[in-house]
Chains A and B, each alone.
Chain A
Amino acid sequence: MPFNSLRAFLETCEVEGQLVRIKEKVKPEPDIRAAACAAAKMAAGPVLLFEKIEGYSDKQVAMNIHGSFQNHALMLDLPKETSVKAQFQELVERWDRYPIPPKRVNDAPFKEVIIDRNPSLYRELPLFRVNPMDGGFYLSKACVVSRDPETGEDQNLGMYRMQVKDHDRIGIQAAAQHDIAIHLRKAEELDIPLRVAIVVSNEPVTSLIASTPLHYHQDEYSMIGAIRGEPADIIASERGNLDVPAGAEVVIEGEIIPRKRFVEGPFVEYTGYYSSSMIQAEVQVDLISRRRDPIIFENLYSGLPWTEMDYMMAMSTSVAPFKQMKPEFPELQAINAMYCHGYVTIISSKMRFGGFAKTLAMRLLTTPHGIVYPKFIIVVDDDIDPFDLQQVMWAISVRFRPERDLVLIPNAPGSTVDPAHLVRGITTKTIIDATKPVFPDIPLADASIVNMPPETAFWTEEILKRRK
């Protein structure tokens, strides 16, 4: 059964041994970030629920919700040991169920407490600093809802870093390539505020899709329905005609102040490096609605990779380009773009003819996500699981011929937050063709590959039985 709230997901995690409760009192800093870092680094990293936080008697914090492929599988209602490749294939299939439109409900637990005078983020949320040199306390996993201010259409649900700066002020990173920046630009051209609802602590598919780069006109709620296999429950915001997930813990409403920018950052990005301080947009908060205490505040630890952020983004950066390339290239098997949002991407495919690996790599570079992010693309044959790095490294070891299979494309578009840049936003795209040469290319001389013994699968079962 899909989950209707973060709480429902926590229950399943507990049953499955993927939840650890921290019942002792912890300090907001450094305990929460250090424990979240530890959970993300361990094998099968569990969800953490901090039940007592110094200074916040009636608030709890949940961390590492997406922070392992076991948690990721549970989110998709799959057995927790489901392989990464199988989770990828499951998402590829569910993607095609789009759209499953959301279901409107009349009441929601977060409508129980409504604060519409002097709302204070410091009072309502157990804030903590995610990394030591961050510019403040961040909401690093909240989802933001907005609409095109001119037409009232094209509602968007996105995840952007947000810095709490005062009782009722939050900085928001509305980077130009994101959908909310289109809404903000229109509002600012018209010199009107942009109404937003900031939704804190959601069931995990909501966060997954909010952080997936869908097309501008695609509806995130209908994609959440497609991935869940069941409509998402939504309810109207108190002000401004926005739809918010009904299972949320806290909803913060307000408007982005038009045509003004304020000091924001730094904050640790997905690269594992601090981004620099800039002046960014800011939300004036006018209303907070929430569940009765103790609320559960879910936040994201983004530190030295791998962390929860890498697990959360792993599939969205892999499935989206795969779906975009597959219609033209049915030979395609899978794409693994889970290293720093796809800076390193591995494509697995059957080969149509000699040189085809280069065609695939260049096509990746013309997908919406591929234009900027990938700078190191490895292409492997269909006998290689691109999610199994032992296999990928073997393919490079024995099938890559540097004099023929290395392509460098200098002065190409690159990520603006890549710490290795010489010119910000410019990179060299590298293609490594680690496929076997096929006609009309010259086949490898004297290359007779060995197969696994056919009885291996039988013996795997036998060994596992005896091991239990």
Chain B
Amino acid sequence: MICPRCDFLEAYKVFEAEDRSWEIYRCPRCNFNWRSTEGQELTDAKQYNPRFKLSEKQIQDMAPKPPVPPLRKTENSGVRERKLTYRT
């Protein structure tokens, strides 16, 4: 199954209604979720609004929100920091 948003080929069915009136699909690359009954402009990769398409490069370049902070240094890490009193 092709992801309508990022064109990844390994999207798959993740859930189906009890009465089988629809299925839900998900893309493991861009996390897009869609329902089979949402209309072709949402479920068909060729008809998906280009303004909202995601490329692999766009995904790679995305900024993290919030940023991941540096790990705290523990006493056993072997790293010691000193405050310099003189800088050049």
Contacts and interface: CB of A to CB of B under 8 A. Distances in A.
A86 interface: no
Given A55-B19, A57-B18, A166-B26, A263 B62 contact: yes
A57 B19 CA distance: 8
Contacts, number: 104
Given A29-B35, A188-B69, A278-B65, A263 B14 contact: no
Contact of A185 (B32, B63, B69): B69
Given A55-B17, A57-B18, A122-B14, A277 B33 contact: no
B66 A175 contact: yes
A262 B69 contact: no
A164 B35 contact: no
Given A123-B15, A191-B71, A263-B30, A129 B66 contact: no
A54 interface: yes
Contacts of A136: 31-34
Contact of A278 (B26, B37, B49, B63): B63
Range for the number of chain A residues in contact with chain B: 35 or more
A132 B42 contact: yes
A28 interface: yes
Interface in B1-55: 5, 14-15, 17-19, 21-22, 24, 26, 29-35, 37-38, 41-42, 49, 52, 54
Looking at B52, B66, B69, which has the most chain A CB atoms within 10 Å of its CB?
Answer: B66
- Majority-rule SS of B interface residues: loop
A167 interface: yes
A165 B15 contact: no
Given A29-B38, A136-B33, A281 B66 contact: yes
Contacts of A190: 71-72
A163 interface: yes
Contacts of A266: 52
Contact of A165 (B33, B71, B72): B33
B64 interface: yes
Contacts of A29: 35, 37-38
Interface in A164-220: 164-167, 171, 173-176, 181, 184-185, 188-191
A448 B72 CA distance: 68
Contacts of A132: 41-42
A122 B15 contact: yes
B7 to A, nearest CB: 14
A174 to B, nearest CB: 6
A27 B71 contact: no
A135 B31 CA distance: 8
A55 B31 contact: no
B15 A279 contact: no
A279 B26 contact: no
A120 interface: yes
Given A167-B14, A261-B65, A133 B49 contact: yes
A259 B68 CA distance: 6
Contact of A56 (B17, B30, B59): B17
Nearest to A278: B65
A137 B38 contact: no
B78 interface: no
Interface of A: 27-29, 54-57, 120, 122-123, 129, 132-133, 135-137, 163-167, 171, 173-176, 181, 184-185, 188-191, 259, 261-264, 266, 274, 277-281
* The 8 A-B residue pairs with the shortest CB-CB distance in the complex, in nearest-first order: A55-B17, A136-B33, A122-B15, A261-B64, A165-B31, A279-B62, A189-B72, A55-B21
13 contacts: A28-B35, A55-B17, A56-B17, A129-B34, A132-B42, A135-B31, A136-B32, A166-B26, A171-B31, A176-B67, A188-B69, A189-B71, A189-B72
